[in-house]
A and B are shown apart, each in its own frame.
Chain A
């Protein structure tokens, strides 16, 4: 395979050698691997974008409540604030954050989402890309390309480290999603492949060590808010990369360190609901109430 890569370094080399963007290399790699045409692959990803859009739309406008009753309605509260107030963070940022939260709320209420890369981190990419798409008048075709850019980063992380909270903590799950989103933003806004990976590297560095400690073991709390901060993290890191700021530690080494940090986390902080917020008096009380209750 001509377009295969398993590290950020290899990806950049391929981009340079063939004068391609990251998204182009990713589609060509998939085409080589699956023997599908690039058009087929593009339209499959477009379907994912459509599902993402619908989940943002639903979460921002409908009254959502999760099966357990733990989460729902926070995305709408935030939307109400950025639509009606002079906010601290700015309405563009908050629109993306609310959209990300909206998707997680839809997920928790058994609605349809696209795992990106997992269900627990499925809000960040739609929140970031759909908001930026709307704010800058970017067409769907370019947003689909951005999804391919993001998937190249996700692929490198999945192959060299992990995107699973049970293996690497929340840094591996929402951290990866945010890094994917940052790289996508950089390329979407005209940055080159190296800048995109600096954006992804800075994103992971910003939340290195984040634990996975879901209350009652459910993909709800603190997952909705971790998707919120992941969205903000992607925005900031993308802007830093576009400003020319570099990650002192190269992307591949950051990913490797994320994996080692994840491996050295105790089991209690890797999705078992035995540590962190899940092990607080309130967390434990909520767990008893939910896990004991009838449907």
Chain B
């Protein structure tokens, strides 16, 4: 049985016209923006399916860019996001393409940060403004942004997960959901932890400083 809050029936407050093509797109953009720490030199949006077909009429382009800039789906600046990006000198491009076996409302973000670091993120808007991220830097994973989320990119070595969860325990953080993914044994791996508690940004440095072989740590508290 589904169990809705009253504010899922009357709400959310949003910029129109579509909860999936506008509000959901803005939330996906915000996750991509957060993963890049809102430090963006250029971004390409590869649009799939219904996103590719109707993005102009639904303002999906402006919503995605708004998200990248950290603008919320209820913020009226959303409709001006492309000019805000121009003012900030962010290069951007919208590309219509087929991303294969994914949800009809899917986008791939190709982000280049000012230091040249590249981030690739794929996510889908799955209805009513709800979203899921399905791939980061070519590694398949899944999270929704509904819970504070910690993502680590590390080498697939014994003990790393235990060290990271120990740090979370020291911060008194309860883990709600946890998944690990890897490309191949001993190589690049990802861990996604969704917690019940707000994640202190200091956790990022604690993990980086005390756990060897962790390459990247991302914290997404709420979208």
Q: Chain A 101-134, CB within 8 Å of chain B: the 1/0 string?
A: 0000011111111111111101001000000000
CA distance A45 to B17 in the complex (A): 21
CA distance A84 to B4 in the complex (A): 44
* A44 CB–B CB distance under 8 Å: yes
Contact of A67 with B57 in the complex, beta carbons under 8 Å: yes
Looking at the complex, which one of A27, A68, A147, A164 makes contact with B57 (CB distance below 8 Å)?
Answer: A68
**Are A34 and B5 also in contact (CB < 8 A) when A110-B79, A112-B13, A119-B17 are?**
yes
A97 CB, min distance to chain B CBs, angstroms: 19
* A291 CB–B CB distance under 8 Å: yes
Q: Chain B 47-77, CB within 8 Å of chain A: the 1/0 string?
A: 0001001101111011000000000001010
Q: In the assembled complex, which residues on chain B have CB atoms less than 8 Å from the CB atom of A118? A: 19, 128
How many B residues face the partner with a CB closer than 8 A? 37
CA distance A47 to B12 in the complex (A): 11
* A30 CB–B CB distance under 8 Å: yes
* A154 CB–B CB distance under 8 Å: yes
Q: In the assembled complex, which residues on chain A have CB atoms less than 8 Å from the CB atom of B89? A: none
Q: In the assembled complex, which residues on chain A have CB atoms less than 8 Å from the CB atom of B7? A: 30, 44-45, 48
* B78 CB–A CB distance under 8 Å: yes
Contact of A117 with B9 in the complex, beta carbons under 8 Å: yes
Contact of B17 with A115 in the complex, beta carbons under 8 Å: no
Contact of A112 with B74 in the complex, beta carbons under 8 Å: yes
Q: Which residues of chain A from 241 to 294 have a CB within 8 Å of any chain B CB? A: 290-291, 293-294
Q: In the assembled complex, which residues on chain A have CB atoms less than 8 Å from the CB atom of B5? A: 30, 33-34
* A148 CB–B CB distance under 8 Å: yes
Q: Interface stretch among A74-82, A197-205, A212-220?
A: A212-220
Contact of B2 with A158 in the complex, beta carbons under 8 Å: yes
Chain A CB within 10 Å, residue with most, of B1, B17, B19, B56 = B17
B97 CB, min distance to chain A CBs, angstroms: 16
Contact of A41 with B6 in the complex, beta carbons under 8 Å: yes
Closest to A31 in B: B6
Q: In the assembled complex, which residues on chain A have CB atoms less than 8 Å from the CB atom of B50? A: 217
Contact of B57 with A45 in the complex, beta carbons under 8 Å: no
CA distance A290 to B13 in the complex (A): 27
Chain B CB within 10 Å, residue with most, of A120, A125, A155 = A155
Contact of A158 with B16 in the complex, beta carbons under 8 Å: no
* B11 CB–A CB distance under 8 Å: yes
B112 CB, min distance to chain A CBs, angstroms: 23
Closest to B8 in A: A158
Q: Which residues of chain A from 8 to 52 have a CB within 8 Å of any chain B CB? A: 26-27, 29-30, 33-34, 41, 44-45, 47-48, 51
Q: Which residues of chain B from 77 to 94 have a CB within 8 Å of any chain A CB? A: 78-79
Q: In the assembled complex, which residues on chain B have CB atoms less than 8 Å from the CB atom of A67? A: 17, 56-59
Chain B CB within 10 Å, residue with most, of A45, A48, A112 = A112
Contact of B4 with A158 in the complex, beta carbons under 8 Å: yes
Chain A CB within 10 Å, residue with most, of B8, B11, B23 = B11
* B197 CB–A CB distance under 8 Å: no
* B22 CB–A CB distance under 8 Å: yes
A46 CB, min distance to chain B CBs, angstroms: 11
* B14 CB–A CB distance under 8 Å: yes
B15 CB, min distance to chain A CBs, angstroms: 6
* B18 CB–A CB distance under 8 Å: yes
* B162 CB–A CB distance under 8 Å: no
Contact of A26 with B54 in the complex, beta carbons under 8 Å: no
Chain A CB within 10 Å, residue with most, of B4, B50, B59, B78 = B4
CA distance A293 to B129 in the complex (A): 26
B207 CB, min distance to chain A CBs, angstroms: 31
Selected A-B contacts with CB under 8 Å, 18 pairs = A33-B5, A47-B13, A67-B57, A107-B17, A110-B16, A110-B78, A110-B79, A112-B14, A115-B23, A151-B10, A155-B4, A159-B2, A159-B4, A217-B50, A217-B57, A219-B18, A290-B57, A294-B56
Q: Report which B residues bind A (CB closer than 8 A).
A: 1-19, 22-23, 50, 53-54, 56-59, 61-62, 74, 76, 78-79, 127-129
Interface pairs A-B: 3 shortest CB-CB? A107-B16, A154-B9, A219-B17
Q: Report which A residues bind B (CB closer than 8 A).
A: 6, 26-27, 29-30, 33-34, 41, 44-45, 47-48, 51, 66-68, 106-120, 122, 125, 147-148, 150-151, 154-155, 158-159, 163-164, 166, 180, 216-220, 290-291, 293-295
Extra 4 A-B pairs, beta carbons < 8 Å, given A119-B17, A216-B57, A293-B56: A6-B1, A158-B4, A217-B50, A219-B18
